[in-house]
Structure 1
Amino acid sequence: MMDRRNLLRTGAIGAAAALFAPRIAFAAAPTDKRFVFIIQRGAADGLGIVVPVGDPAFAGQRGVLADIAEGGLKLDSTFTLHPMLAETGKLYGAKQALFAHAVASPYRERSHFDGQNVLESGGKGPYALKDGWLNRMLALLPEADARALAIAAAIPLALRGTREVASYAPSNLPDASDDLLQRVSMLYQGDAQLHGLWEQALATRTLTGDLAADNGRNAAATGALAARLMAPANGARIAMIETGGWDTHSGQKARLGAQLRGLDAMIGAIRTGLGAEWANTMVLVATEFGRTVAVNGTNGTDHGTASAAMLLGGGVKGGRVIADWPGLAQASLYEGRDLRPTGDLDGFIAGAVAAHFGLEPARVLPTLFPQSTAAQPVEGLA
């Protein structure tokens, strides 16, 4: 059912491995591997995504949200996938998707800004590091393949650092009127080059942000854009996609379902757009922290601690849920309210990157997460 062993490794083992690891070069040869990080800003409710319906305390703790997994794919005897993740479920069935549950970064408070800073910087605490783990990852790749792209309004912290990256997103300027846009289109009509660029800009001006917008069609377009920019031999090898709308303080059932429908469409579009290159691709989906186990007075949940992360791709050793499950009985909760973190998100990410790119795990961990003292890379993810 659950692979507990990898999430119970100690920091001492990791430190010893790093000390005695052979001195090897990182990814000396060119690689066709691609890596996508989809961040869920707002604290996604892992208990509503990979739903522990088999936990004896689940129904009583979740109340009106207890039926959220009805119609979803049964992953094992404990977990069921949210029914809106249909395409993701197909990847799970093809052993190209796995889920890590009860995982968290080192952050243990409940501020979105601080939590996202820790998740993206890879630091031990908020604002401890100025650059991001995804930018530091570029140093592990051959120079010719260290091409990174942010599909976001600005370069996110995870991609900031000494390595140059590009961004592709609509402008943050106020929306222009439809009349103005039509007049500019007419102005560019006679110029083949400018007209093509303008049409592409119009097509992508609503990309990124809230996954629920337009019934997930914008999310699918964002995924298709990412695939189009990564599929060519000279395209980006690393990409980060920002998503928002995960802060479900009220009316969670409908809001989370709409979010997951968009996320599922985005993942499906990436898979379809990459075609044969999907076999060389890994997609990580993670959030800054989870949400409370109990439902609040407005049928939502509040800021919590542990959550779930996803790993998808043609080379992922999927078809499983990795968790040292702590249980949802009241006495088992973190601070009496949250899913207790038993897995280290930093170790999960480091293990995924190492396996995907064929790198030494004991050296990947201190590069991506230089302040980590407790994490050991999770093994066997790809």
Structure 2
Amino acid sequence: MDAQRRGLLAAFGASALLTLFPGATRAATGHDTRFLLVLLRGGLDGLHLLPPYADPAYARLRGEGAVDDPIRIDPSFGLHPALQQAATMYRARELLPIVAIAPPYRERSHFDAQDCLENGTASPTGARDGWLGRCVQAMPGGAGFAVAAVMPLALRGSDRASNWWPPLPKDVDPQLLQRLQPLYAADPRLSETFERSTHAATMARDGKGAFALPEAMRIAAQRMSAVDGPRIGFVEDSGWDTHRNQAQVLQRKLAELDQGLAAARAGFGAAWPRTVIAVVTEFGRTAAINGTGGTDHGTGGMALLCGGAVRGGRIGGDWPGLAPAQLNQGRDLRATSDLRGLFKSVLTEHIGLAESAVESRVFPASRAVEPMAGWRAA
């Protein structure tokens, strides 16, 4: 058979497949995959979510603040007991915790760290738009969608991105709430009160209670699971700045995250095998517990990858240890991976963006950051 006839038959086969099974064709070519970014604002304590129970320095640093009886998923690490659904996903090889990972920012300001994470550069002022927005613009089709009161920095920069939030009472301005949140977050006594008040002001229309993280993740997943739904999604949640009473606060917050992961899995439905969710935060916490039963701003954090397209059931990343000489500045878990490396790999291997577009447009001036390998299911 000559080359011309082989080419005609190949074209006919592709055309027939597109006609008979359009969804299958999009999935096979990488154009039907989904990526949801969940940003936990405030600096989640990764050592509390994924306690390194086998490291003797952990109990010494945390004392009574150490997590009791974690769900042991690995000879060295366990999940917090509130993360029952996450543990089930881990055992199903759909959850991959990644240790000691953070944006390139290495200081301790919430605002600068979040800006750096969202703009996708090495500087809080490195870009006025976001890496997810630039990703949407670089895609040949598809859209971005945020469950947020105002368009987050991460998705700015694309005319194919939109945001949604439950209607607020007429006398509450969502932009004002967003501007006030960092101010209240800086005060450990007022942050939780502000969060509860904000949730009370954003009651869902069905009257079932506050519009919290599980509902936001469910709605994002349902919107994104539609045949022509947005391929890129964003959800944010506040209240992770645990300067005091960390055990009590994170018991509640981690339970909400756990419910959110389960809600997203159900919401994605048939799209779950083609889905990746990344749960990230702007930085970690101090390795030692402070005098008020909490932790302070740190550097090295953690991330969770989950979804049917994730090769989970193991621990990812490079663990630096918690011995005094291994800590950053003698106080924090040291970051050994750049979040941009994880994001780069997701965009090229899962979303299907060309490496050239990722390096030049989505994450400019980042060629020294290698894409993270080995996270994707075969």
Give the TM-score normalised by the residue count of structure 1. Answer: 0.79
User: Are 1:206 and 2:203 matched, yes or no?
Assistant: yes
User: Are 1:159 and 2:155 matched, yes or no?
Assistant: yes
Question: Post-superposition shift, 1:52?
Answer: 0.8
For 1:299-345, what per-residue CA distance to the aligned partner results, in whole angstroms no more than 9, with x for missing partners? 00000000110111101011111122111111211011110111111
Q: Is the 8 A contact 2:359 2:365 kept in 1?
A: no
Give the aligned residue type for 1:228.
Q
User: Are 1:320 and 2:314 matched, yes or no?
Assistant: yes
1:257 alignment partner, SS class: helix
Question: Post-superposition shift, 1:92?
Answer: 0.8
Within a 5 Å distance, the mapping from 1:265-344 to structure 2 comes to: 265-344=259-338
Q: Which moved more, 1:222-231 or 1:33-42?
A: 222-231
The residue aligned with 1:357 is 351
Pick 1 or 2: higher relative contact order, CA cutoff 8 A, min separation 6.
Answer: 1
The residue aligned with 1:192 is none
Within a 5 Å distance, the mapping from 1:220-259 to structure 2 comes to: 220-259=214-253
Q: Take 1:96 and 1:28, find their aligned partners in 2: how far apart are those partners?
A: 20
Give the aligned residue type for 1:78.
S
The residue aligned with 1:381 is 375
**Ranges in structure 1 where 5+ consecutive residues have no aligned partner:** 1-26, 177-202, 208-212
Q: Take 1:327 and 1:244, find their aligned partners in 2: how far apart are those partners?
A: 28
Q: Which moved more, 1:346-355 or 1:311-320?
A: 346-355
Give the aligned residue type for 1:329.
A
Equivalent of 1:73, from 52, 71, 74? 71
Question: Post-superposition shift, 1:362?
Answer: 6.3
Q: Take 1:123 and 1:219, find their aligned partners in 2: how far apart are those partners?
A: 27
The residue aligned with 2:53 is 53
Q: Take 1:126 and 1:62, find their aligned partners in 2: how far apart are those partners?
A: 31
The residue aligned with 1:13 is none
The number of residues matched between the two structures is 320
Q: Take 2:316 and 2:43, find their aligned partners in 1: how far apart are those partners?
A: 20
Give the aligned residue type for 1:307.
G
Equivalent of 1:123, from 121, 124, 131? 121
The residue aligned with 2:165 is 169
Give the aligned residue type for 1:64.
E
Give the aligned residue type for 1:41.
R
For 1:25-65, what per-residue CA distance to the aligned partner results, in whole angstroms no more than 9, with x for missing partners? xx996711111000010001011111111112110011122
The residue aligned with 1:64 is 64
The residue aligned with 1:41 is 41
Q: Take 2:42 and 2:63, find their aligned partners in 1: how far apart are those partners?
A: 22
The residue aligned with 1:82 is 80
Give the aligned residue type for 1:161.
G
User: Are 1:112 and 2:106 matched, yes or no?
Assistant: no
**Ranges in structure 2 where 5+ consecutive residues have no aligned partner:** 1-26, 173-199
Q: Take 1:87 and 1:136, find their aligned partners in 2: how far apart are those partners?
A: 33
2:315 alignment partner, SS class: strand
Q: Take 2:28 and 2:96, find their aligned partners in 1: how far apart are those partners?
A: 28
Question: Post-superposition shift, 1:204?
Answer: 11
Q: Is the 8 A contact 2:136 2:160 kept in 1?
A: no
Q: Which moved more, 1:367-376 or 1:345-354?
A: 367-376
1:239 alignment partner, SS class: strand
Q: Take 1:44 and 1:269, find their aligned partners in 2: how far apart are those partners?
A: 20
Change (3 A) 1:359 1:236: closer
Give the aligned residue type for 1:94.
A
